[in-house]
Amino acid sequence: MKYAKILKQEYAYNKSEKGMMMGMAVTCKNFGSTKEGQEVKLYTIENKNGMVVTVTNYGVNIVNVIVPDQNGKKEDVVLGYDTVEGYFTNGSFFGATIGPSANRIANASFMIDGVKYQLIANDGTNNLHSHEELGYHKALWNAEVQGENSVLFSMEDADGNMGFPGNKQVKVAITLTDANELKLAYHVSADKNTLINMTNHSYFNLAGHDAGQIENHKLYINASAYTPVDERLIPTGELASVEGTPFDFRELHLVGERINEENAQLKLGKGYDHNWVIDGCDGTIRKVAEVIEETSGRSMEVYTDQPGIQFYAGNCITPVGGKNGAFYGKRSGLCLETQVFPDSINQEKFPNSVFGPSKDYEAVTIYKFNW
């Protein structure tokens, strides 16, 4: 079974964690009801180091990631809501599991095997994150606790739903290890060739979800190139060098250091909202990014087997009240969304994003925290 392979790959990433699972636990409680009255659950995973992750089966939205700082003080470092009702709207996709296709698709359409598929245009003429109301982040998933540190979420997605072909079996395993790794393992099988490009849209603020803007976070991205965009924020097809540009994060830079420079690409995105091309991507899990917040001493490393990563600096967060009375606005959090390149389905030179009977979709992303 291919899904077993992805879980094997996931755990093989860090063999030193074997035998370290003592003190871990998964608990479950009610998190309210859907609009239709279905019961929603909230799953909490704790590790021996004081980290806590909570995730709901409504949309597999990551609700909390609680991490100690260098003095042992714990803070929640992801933006989100206290109740499930907040996720009914969630215009900025806080914590969201995005699928079947993340990011933008030009003209909200694509061709597979000579057939044109039309999606909803919900971002000008583009499709963005599949569908605002029917996307995976708004679905009620099945959930099964796996051992002492993991929850497996699953759902069925019917042929033609949101305009995408193929009956799909979708699984996302969320795991918290004693190595302080939040692991996301995705698997999709489909009975037709279809577009699959999943990601998680969590917004991180390592000073705390209610600590204000993230411009003083330091960022590293292991990428010598990025994909410039046009006025619709659709990649032009070029793989542009980051050398000598504000997009060069091969050494640590403050997020806010160059974000307001006179740069045409930054103006289009109102700051950083672009895909970086991961150096040396070969389908294995490797470190692709790191974020450091020096006041708290917290840092987060990002590992993935995917070819791209979207760094979004939260430039257009819809101003909204969040957890514990916090107010979220522009650049209150940043996203590092691992992915196949945006609009790959319409660009022959970009990595493959078509999966189906002959090839399942499998992907792993790891957010590893240090303090």
Residue 209 falls in the annotated catalytic set: no
161 near 195, Cβ under 8 Å? no
Q: Where are the beta strands (DSSP E) in 92-132?
A: 97-98, 104-105, 109-112, 115-118, 127-128
CB 183 within 8 A of CB 177: yes
Cβ-based burial of 169 (10 A; exposed 0-12, middle 13-18, buried ≥19): middle
Give the tokens for residue 209: 């979800």
337 is catalytic: yes
Amino acid at site 241: S
The radius of gyration computed from the CA coordinates of the chain, to the nearest angstrom, equals 19
Which of 201, 209, 217, 274 does the annotation list as catalytic? 201
Catalytic site residue from 10, 75, 337, 362: 337
Residue 328 token pair: 């979220």
The burial class, CB within 10 Å (0-12 / 13-18 / 19+), for 262 is exposed
> Does an H or E element contain 89, and which?
helix 84-89
**∠328-179-26 over CA atoms, to 5°?**
70
Q: How many residues in the chain? A: 371
| Residues marked as catalytic | 201, 337
